[in-house]
């Protein structure tokens, strides 16, 4: 069920990258969700360049809250006598996400991923609730459900 909802938004397993915040801190830009979606419908390249590497604060109505499991294969060397041996491990992390919709849901959606250690606030959020999220702009995408704006490393400001 969760997998189907994410795939309808064009999410591919392991397709996102978390961005570290630098010590000097990012500048926060408040932007309306409908403004983001409208910008992406015009010249997508110009819109992407406008928001690239920006830390955005966006308000919307919660459509869905969920978890995405990311599996990552990692090879390590174990040094046991007489020779090192390569051992493959699979790491699994669960990333919380929230899908927000603007006042006019036909305009598109915002998909916001949270760090695995920051899932706690998501337990307090319900569909239909109006919230503010803060996160790094990642990309615009056209999906079967419409235009999708993706943010990563999100937090909530309720």
The answer as to whether 67 is a domain residue is yes
pLDDT over 80 at 10, yes or no = no
For the chain, give the percent of residues with pLDDT over 70.
82
Distance (Å, whole) CA 82 – CA 69: 37
CATH number at 89 reads 2.40.50.140
Is pTM, for the whole model, over 0.85? no
The answer as to whether 72 is a domain residue is yes
Residue 79 is predicted with a pLDDT of 72
Number of domains in the chain: 1
For the stretch 81-117, pLDDT in tens is 677 777 787 878 888 999 999 988 888 999 999 988 8
Give the mean model confidence (pLDDT) for residues 53-65.
94
Element (H, E) at 57: strand 55-79
The answer as to whether 90 is a domain residue is yes
Which residue is listed with tokens 């966006």?
58
Give CA separation, 32 vs 16, 60, 63, 134, in Å.
23, 8, 17, 12
The answer as to whether 14 is a domain residue is no
Q: Residue 149's domain spans which residues?
A: 2-9+28-157
Q: Which residues of 35-45 are buried (b: 16+ CB within 10 A; e: fewer)?
A: ebbebbeeeee
The answer as to whether 45 is a domain residue is yes
């Amino acid at each position: 069920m969760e997998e189907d909802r994410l795939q309808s938004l064009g999410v591919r397993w392991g397709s996102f990258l978390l961005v570290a915040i630098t010590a000097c801190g990012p500048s926060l830009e408040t932007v309306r969700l409908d403004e983001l979606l409208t910008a992406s419908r015009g010249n997508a390249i110009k819109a992407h360049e406008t928001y690239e590497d920006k830390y955005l604060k966006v308000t919307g109505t919660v459509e869905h809250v969920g978890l995405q499991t990311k599996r990552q294969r990692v090879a390590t060397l174990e040094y046991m006598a007489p020779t090192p041996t390569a051992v493959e491990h699979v790491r699994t992390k669960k990333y919380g996400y929230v899908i927000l919709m603007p006042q006019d849901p036909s305009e598109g959606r915002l998909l916001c991923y949270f760090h695995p250690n920051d899932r706690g606030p998501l337990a307090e959020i319900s569909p239909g609730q109006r919230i503010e999220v803060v996160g790094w702009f990642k990309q615009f995408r056209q999906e079967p459900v419409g235009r999708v704006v993706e943010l990563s490393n999100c937090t909530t400001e309720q």
